[in-house]
Structure 1
Amino acid sequence: MADHIIVTDEDATRIIRLRRPEKKNALTQDMYSAMSRAIDTAQNNPAIRCLIITGGSGVFTAGNDLDDFLQASRDKSERPTNAIKFLHSLVQNVKPLVAAVDGIAIGMGTIMLFHCDYVLASTTATFSTPFIQYGLVPEGASSLLMPQMMGHQRAFAMLAMGRALNAEDAHTAGFVNAVVAPGHAETEARKAAREICALSPEAVAITRKLLKLPPDEMVRRIEHEGHLFGERMRSDEAIAAFDAFFARRKT
């Protein structure tokens, strides 16, 4: 539903807010599509100089909505899913991107942060990529970006062992800039955005481009991961893990 993603432009900042609290902001294909549009339409708009992604107070996102995710995975067409299109939007984005995380960030909720430029997290934030628990493999170029930013050992613990990090751990690992009080992540993200918007847009854009990996390299990794992810989705191990998850949810 379109109303699960609220997009507002305030001064020179576009705020993309996840709003599906009854499902802990779990991401559907429609939500991915709406976020992609919000990012893509900002690219050639000189009035928008910074982007913020936020889940509001108390939660960031529980990651993929598993019902929606499994339905999309059964689509036999060759078209990329909206989740993949969203990742491409992140990779091709040229505007500074700030994230405000207040609560859980699971799966894609953590992965998207590695495509952001500045991340605020509240003390209640937790970060996890539990693909391994479902017999799956990393996605979203996380196998490239996470070791680069955190080091191999921390990335292995998250991606290959399924271990979660709290806000302080994430700050120590280097992908969270600052840890703030609960309910203050979005406020601090807005402050950071105003700081960025007050700087030379050309100089910021050039500096950001120098700091980022080439988009083509990230796209290649996303495509390679996506191929392996698709194979694992069809594996007996993954099917059994999802069946067990839905059986537990019914009890």
Structure 2
Amino acid sequence: MTAPTLLTELSDHILTLRINRPDKRNALTQAMYGELAEALLAAAENPEVRVVLLTGTPDTFTAGNDLQDFLQIPGNLAEAPVGRFMAALSGFPKPVVAAVNGAAVGIGTTLLLHCDLVYVGETARLQMPFVSLGLCPEFTASYVLPRIMGHVRAAELLMLGEAFSAQTAHELGLVNEVLPPAEVESRARQQALRLAQQAPQALLTTKMLMRRFSQRGMHESLAVELEHFSAALKGPEVKEAVSAFMQKRKPDFSKLA
């Protein structure tokens, strides 16, 4: 029997959503995005849920999109499960805590921009290799990152797409704390429990107020990024990047304008 790719557990008013596809480094399929979106939408309406804890398996958060699955998406990404997941997480009214170990690639990094508290293992590696794949940033990264760390640092992460350490993520203001891998989830759960014990309406109001004035920019960024991302998926640069990945070689963009 195939193990479920999303494990859920509700305890102490904390809903844990665990990405569970370790044989594929927790790469996300459209089915998994659909499950995550539905879980978040249900949690938003469930008074028993006060906090969501988002995590992966002990050695991997998520390697990002399952490329072969992702390239099969018809039409605009905003209407696909990945778009529904982005809308559900970016608009989620309750606190979200992330516990990250191992790889956090692509959306594995950008989704952290929509979490309220982020705890990362000291051996974790984060990366946003969109340009290297012939793509553009997604999940409001082009809007949020320059505002967190300034243009030049954001440009380095997004344009060069190189992996960076948990310590660098902390220095850039992307995560709250870097811990030994074995302590990451327990620390995240400890903080989630503290949030769950706070006055619930005051907590919701605080999150709403913190995001109120940036929400319009984030919504616009999400829509525009997805439009360009959708177009790029059909383009020659992605075709070359995927071919190179499958052939285990470096992509050659020299002949592309």
When normalised by structure 2's length, the TM-score is: 0.91
The equivalent of 1:32 in structure 2 is 33
Change (3 A) 1:22 1:48: same
Number of aligned pairs?
A: 247
Contact 2:16 2:53 in 1 (8 A): yes
Output the amino acid matched with 1:59.
T
Give the equivalent residue in structure 1 for 2:169.
170
Q: What SS does the corresponding residue of 2:123 show, helix, strand or coil?
A: coil
Overall identity of the aligned pairs, in %: 37
Q: Which aligned pairs between 1:56-71 and structure 2 lie closer than 5 A?
A: 56-71=57-72
Does 152-161 or 106-115 show the bigger shift? 152-161
1:49-128 mapped onto 2 (5 Å cutoff): 49-72=50-73, 75-76=74-75, 80-128=79-127
C-alpha separation in 2, matches of 1:176 and 1:78: 28
Structure 2 distance, partners of 1:166, 1:61, is 15
Partner of 1:19: 20
Alignment RMSD, CA only? 1.7
Distance 2:77 2:121 in 1: 39
Distance in 1, matches of 2:169 and 2:46, equals 33
1:183 aligned to 2:211?
no
Give the alignment of 1:178-217 within 5 angstroms.
178-212=177-211, 213-217=213-217
Provide structure 2 residue ranges, at least 5 long, that are not aligned to the other structure: 250-257
Asked whether the equivalents of residues 56 and 186 of structure 1 are also in contact (C-alpha less than 8 Å), the reply is no
1:247, CA displacement in angstroms? 2.2
Question: CA separation of 1:123/1:43 partners in 2, compared to 1, >3 Å: closer, same or farther?
Answer: same
Give the counterpart letter for 1:61 in structure 2. Answer: T
Give the aligned residue type for 2:32. Answer: M
Q: Distance in 1 between matches of 2:76 and 2:145?
A: 30
Residue 253 of structure 2 is matched in structure 1 by none
8 Å CA contact 2:96–2:117 kept in 1: the answer is: yes
Residues in 1 aligned to 2:75 and 2:171: alpha-carbon distance in whole angstroms: 42
Amino acid in the other structure paired with 2:167: E
Contact 2:77–2:226 (CA<8 Å) still a contact in 1?
Answer: no
Check conservation: 2:78, 2:84, Cα contact below 8 A: no
Q: Is 1:120–1:177's contact at 8 Å kept on the other side of the alignment?
A: yes
Quick check: 1:219 aligned with 2:216? no
Structure 1, residues 9-40: CA drift from partner, whole Å, max 9, x if none?
01100000011000010000011011111111
